[in-house]
Structure 1
Amino acid sequence: MITSKKSDLGGTEEALTGGEPCEWQRELQHNVTTVEGLEEYLPLTPAERRDLEQVTAAHPMNIPRYYLELIDPGDPHDPVRKMAVPATEELIVAGDMGATTGDPYGDDKHDKGNGILHKYPYTALVVTTEYCSMYCRHCFRKRMVGLPNDQTVKSFRQAASYIAAHPEIKNVVMSGGDPLLLPTSALKSMLSELRGIKHLNYVRIGSRAPVVFPMRFFDDELIELLADFNREKPLYLPTHFNHPREITPTAREAVRRLRSAGVTVNNQAVLLRGVNDAADTLAELMDGLLRIGVNPYYLYQCMPVTRVRHHFQVPLKEGVDLVDAARAKMDGYAKRFKFIIGHDIGKLEICGRIDDKLILKQLHARPGHQDESSRMLVRRLTDNGGWLDDLPECSLSS
């Protein structure tokens, strides 16, 4: 744990036992956003300092003090550090892992304006903000998060009008960035727009704040808002724990408060080289999530994102065996998560392998390709292939 510069919030007993209320907006102003500021917490060599200045010029840095305190400053390979602190590996744009892309999920193809991404008929994703409390180094929207872009919603009312006019949309995902970093009053207005749309069965709010900035949930007004909405439509919060050390007492309290509002909290982890690419680590993560009332839901294969793939992606040949070994250590509820490729053609579950053949099942398909939904796919594993496009097609008999 960092001891050189403690914040007055992160992980403290006062935050959990009724001390002074936490002014989360004010705390965000203390986030570390410069290499100079980072050096107050972590030692950097002159070469690292020079490279990090270059990295942050392309991909900004933003780290809450709370999360910095989870890092071991004496370990340059600390898994929590890898997710938060820029690294020289981000300068690598080519290598033996294969091609990279800025838009692996095909967001641009399904952009309907006003921040709406409508990829699957029954789901609409609304990009509510480009801001996050932390800019994760493995983010698949790395090209846009924290930078000026045209994905931010100018008028949520117009987005809601699109949703209301499309009765095939059964659920909405509020995404970003991180919607829960918006003021509570703004969230109230947005949820009010969705509340009266009868064909919506439920709403999801995607947020990594329970992991990296849990003090946001010590705001009673926010919890009351979520509880009030949840009385009319079920509210789900997909979050993003990747490593057992992220499951702190403060994070646990944030989850408890969410659950007290009736919110179902699911976890969507990403398999990351140097972070959780060990069976024991994955098993500890899934077991730890269940202990705090979070449902293990997805484990994503790291996407082939530019300045991400070559230092975070685990080859599928290694990953499928790793996940099987981890599941063997878990009980029934822990092992319910799906190992997923979030591909441009749709979501694909990685079911396992037979010898050198990878078996996948397509869960969702693009509009106009509904016949592809629920189909089985077989690909031949290679030593370095980390994405569907890297693996040649084959059949079980070939």
Structure 2
Amino acid sequence: MLSTTKSTYACCRIMCLLMILTLFTFSSEARNYDRTSDEKVYSIINIEATEVANDLADDDFFTDCCDQIGKPTSMTFKFVGGGCGADNNSQGSKSDCDGGVTGNGPYSISEEDGANISVSSISVGDVFTVSDASKLPNPIVLRINGGQEVIEVHTSCSAPLVMGDRYGSLELLNYTDEDGFNCDGGNTPPPGGIDCCDVYGKPQMMTFRLVGGGCGADNNSQGSKSDCSGGISGSGPFSISEEDGASVSPSFASIGDIITVSDNDKLPNPIVLRLNNGQEVIEIHTSCSAPILIGERYGSLELLSYTDEDGGKCGNIPPPPPPPTGCAEVLVDYSGTCNDGPDSFSPSVTATCIGNATELGPT
């Protein structure tokens, strides 16, 4: 009888380690036994259950990152929406949330004490990084949509920082400390919030999205090594060129379009991009003596990716656009005089002059 009891206990111990649900089922059934002779076995099983549960609770994805690495100098969040009603984190009274945005966005986002944010606007699903060269303000105070939702997150590590916790409409994905150590829950997004120059060579090609906003939206880590003057307005299309002859594709772009700047050898330093014949002029340092971070804003442009001279890629390379299925309008470069109105094309079209191009639309 004793050997049978020991054997049963050994089997249950193994099952406990493999599947905690099985353990609790066994324990529940044990409660229904006449335990005059099995009381010790039942008690030991419950001790094992407690130990396994504690072990699971100590796994990385339940852990306070402040117990593992230093105080954060950058924090990465995903904007998931839900407002302050979704606030659910381990910081107690040391964090705060007020108000709430509704809908998918886009919404402006800023940090009250001047910490850098990798984007100036966010929509549901977007990932962004809050960073500072030395250490983050304590707390960081994030203002969404001009203060419609205000979120405070404690950063001094006197309150826990647990990956996956919710701070209002934001989910914490990742943080990096002052020594470059990273804490996440397996949630690190693709490169963004890191200096691509630390991982790859100098860029030979850079890919941007035209998002508008002019130089008022300029927000990047290059400091005085980048520059922006002027600003476009409206949705476009706008001409775009590079002052030192780097290839720009396409040469006309509207809001939302993807733009690639490339060179067969290496890009000029800096690249100087002229939008709408100089209505907005953007300089971006490319020698890697200044940081290049994916997602940062250079005036009306958002950096999506770059490829170095060895083919190394930093960021998400967007897929090429689908081939056109029809033709609603065409931009044609021209020299000479352009006259608005009907023109002698077949089929008949109406021509509209835009800078140094003619927009042709069917009539």
TM-score bracket for the superposition, by shorter chain length: under 0.3
The structure with the larger Rg is: 2
Q: TM-score, normalised by structure 2?
A: 0.25
Q: Which has the higher strand share?
A: 2
Q: By percentage of residues, which structure has more helix?
A: 1
| TM-score for both structures, normalised by structure 1 | 0.24
